[in-house]
Amino acid sequence: MADNHADFIVLGAGPGGYACAFRAADLGHKVVLVDPRATLGGVCLNEGCIPSKALLHAAEIIREARHGNDWGISTGNISVDLDTLRARKDGIVAQLTDGLRGLAKRRKVQTVRGSARFTGTNTLDIDGTAWSFDQAVIAVGSAPVRLPGWPDDPRIWDSTDALDLREVPKRLAIVGGGIIGLEMATVYAALGAQVTVIEFMDQIAPGADAEAVAILRTALEAEGIAIHTGTKVTNVKAAKSELKLMCEGGFAGEIKADAAIQAVGRRANGHLVDPHAAGIDLDERGVIHVDETCRTSVEGIFAIGDVTGNPMLAHRATHQGHVAAEVASGHAAALDTDLIPSVAYTSPELAWVGLTQNQAKERGVAHKVASFPWAASGRNLSSGGGDGLTKLVYCPETSRVLGATIVGRNAGELLAECILAIEMGATLEDIALTVHAHPTLSETVAFSAERALGTLTDL
Ligand code: NAD
């Protein structure tokens, strides 16, 4: 018998792990929540979603101030005090992680600081202390992928380094034009860096709707961000005065930079908990496979979040966390949906859910497309918004919505209506006949539906 025993133990206190621990406590379990960090919240709160949103907000303030002249409002020279900005970001993170500590305490969740490894099917080692458990949940997340062959140099950053905001380099190269790459490009361009994004695929935000991505790309380029798609970095030299990135493909030549961010995806952290010792298989990408009830191949052990593979998104992890806690408590629960929304909090935002037009085409799904250009949205123009688009993919037979993409200000918030519409099996008529407030950006969803139905009077 181990020194310590847990009825229900959760490994990892990110948005998946803490949500699972709190739900299990609410369902009557005595819960232990383990994490090596001093604070709860994992990557999302400490060095991911939340700090990046704080910096993106600062970037938006800068952009709004710069565009003030268009409205006759002059703010003079904009200067940024990095120490104050960093402190503000860190303060927001501290407020949220302190809040989580309070929530854990209220639920009598025991938090243990340390790194856990399985030693058997119901035993663990946590920093040298033996534990046994009845049920366990693996929620140990993911880590940034490091590109092989790059030199070891402090000027080469991952997303965590980028969010530390140590300095604003004069020239910043960002390798990877996915969500992290584009968000960091948005932040550092606003702070004054000359940013170059190098993306391997033919499109930034690969997988998103091409028409919407083209609008985002034009807007990013208008902010001075250089974007090279279909481009591969073949060699990196860390000279004393600068980094030199040799590229081939869409852009062939050398990019000189004072810092470079690698934003080429994340790798599941499965290996960290030694799952083989418990009889759980790990694939070559570090992923632990689970079914829709979040069960692993071993009875009583669940896995949730990034460690279970793509899409590696906090909101998926949270839902899986609830499912695991409920299934472990004998409830009938499952995450039986493909509808995991994606949002890039760039300026403008890009948000999508369900099938894109391209995916529908590739998969041979019968579909039609309805869209509304934001140039015709009164609310968009009157709030200084640029180009934007709302696009619905729907079934021509039933007029049910199959997917949605929105590019424009607050696209991430606007997408919620579309996610609910798809989950509820709403038709275009349901959306068009729902009275949307005027003037709002949400009208663009209803206008898209009206356009498809031939009832639109705003175009
Ligand atoms: P990503 O998978 O979104 O993007 C990585 C990009 O790098 C891709 O476009 C890929 O084609 C490109 N790439 C890969 N290898 C390359 C190479 N050698 N050279 C050039 N380009 C290369 O990954 P990410 O942006 O690093 O984000 C990691 C994870 O975190 C993702 O799952 C993402 O969804 C998630 N995340 C989400 C949010 C959000 O929801 N707002 C924010 C940050 C991160």
b/e map 190-215, b = 16+ CB within 10 Å: bbebbbbbbbbeebbbeebbebbbeb
Both 134 and 192 in one domain: the answer is no
Q: Is 348 in the pocket of ligand 1 (CB under 6 A)?
A: no
Residue 159 alpha carbon to ligand 1 centre in Å? 10
Both 310 and 246 in one domain: the answer is no
Which helix H or strand E contains 329, and what residues bound it? none
Confidence of residue 195 (pLDDT cuts 50, 70, 90): very high
> What integer is the mean pLDDT of 33-40?
98
**Cα gap 57→54, rounded to integer Å:** 5
Q: Is 181 in the pocket of ligand 1 (CB under 6 A)?
A: yes
Both 247 and 295 in one domain: the answer is no
Q: What pLDDT does 25 receive?
A: 98
Secondary structure (3-state) at 287? coil
pLDDT digits (tens, 9 = 90+) for 211-245: 999 999 999 999 999 999 999 999 999 999 999 99
Both 309 and 443 in one domain: the answer is no
Q: Is 264 in the pocket of ligand 1 (CB under 6 A)?
A: yes
pLDDT over 70 for what percent of the chain?
Answer: 100
Both 362 and 319 in one domain: the answer is no
Whether 96 is covered by a domain: the verdict is yes
Whether 459 is covered by a domain: the verdict is no
**Cα gap 237→245, rounded to integer Å:** 7
Whether 257 is covered by a domain: the verdict is yes
Q: Is 56 in the pocket of ligand 1 (CB under 6 A)?
A: no
Whichever domain contains 21, its CATH number is 3.50.50.60
Both 414 and 278 in one domain: the answer is no
Both 32 and 140 in one domain: the answer is yes
Average pLDDT, the chain: 97
pLDDT digits (tens, 9 = 90+) for 62-77: 999 999 999 999 988 9
Both 446 and 401 in one domain: the answer is yes
Both 192 and 302 in one domain: the answer is no
Confidence of residue 338 (pLDDT cuts 50, 70, 90): confident
Whether 28 is covered by a domain: the verdict is yes
Q: Is 201 in the pocket of ligand 1 (CB under 6 A)?
A: yes
Would you say residue 177 has pLDDT above 60?
yes
Residue 175 alpha carbon to ligand 1 centre in Å? 9
Both 221 and 136 in one domain: the answer is no
Both 14 and 40 in one domain: the answer is yes
Residue 356, token pair as written in the block: 């894109």
Q: What pLDDT does 1 receive?
A: 55
From 163, 200, 202, give the residue whose CB has the most ligand 1 atoms within 8 Å, as the site to mutate: 200
Amino acid identity at 207: G
Would you say residue 297 has pLDDT above 60?
yes
Cβ contact 352:405 at 8 Å: yes
Structural domain for 174, as ranges: 156-264
pLDDT digits (tens, 9 = 90+) for 255-266: 999 999 999 999
> What integer is the mean pLDDT of 133-144?
98
- Whether the full predicted model's pTM is greater than 0.85, yes or no, is yes
Residue 200 alpha carbon to ligand 1 centre in Å? 11
Both 175 and 288 in one domain: the answer is no
Provide the domain count of the chain.
3
pLDDT digits (tens, 9 = 90+) for 383-434: 999 999 999 999 999 999 999 999 999 999 999 999 999 999 999 999 999 9
Would you say residue 2 has pLDDT above 80?
no
Residue 177 alpha carbon to ligand 1 centre in Å? 7
The end-to-end CA distance of the chain, in Å, is 73
Q: What pLDDT does 45 receive?
A: 96
* Ligand 1 atom 19 nearest Cα: 200
Residues labelled as active-site residues = 438
pLDDT over 90 for what percent of the chain?
Answer: 98
Whether 24 is covered by a domain: the verdict is yes
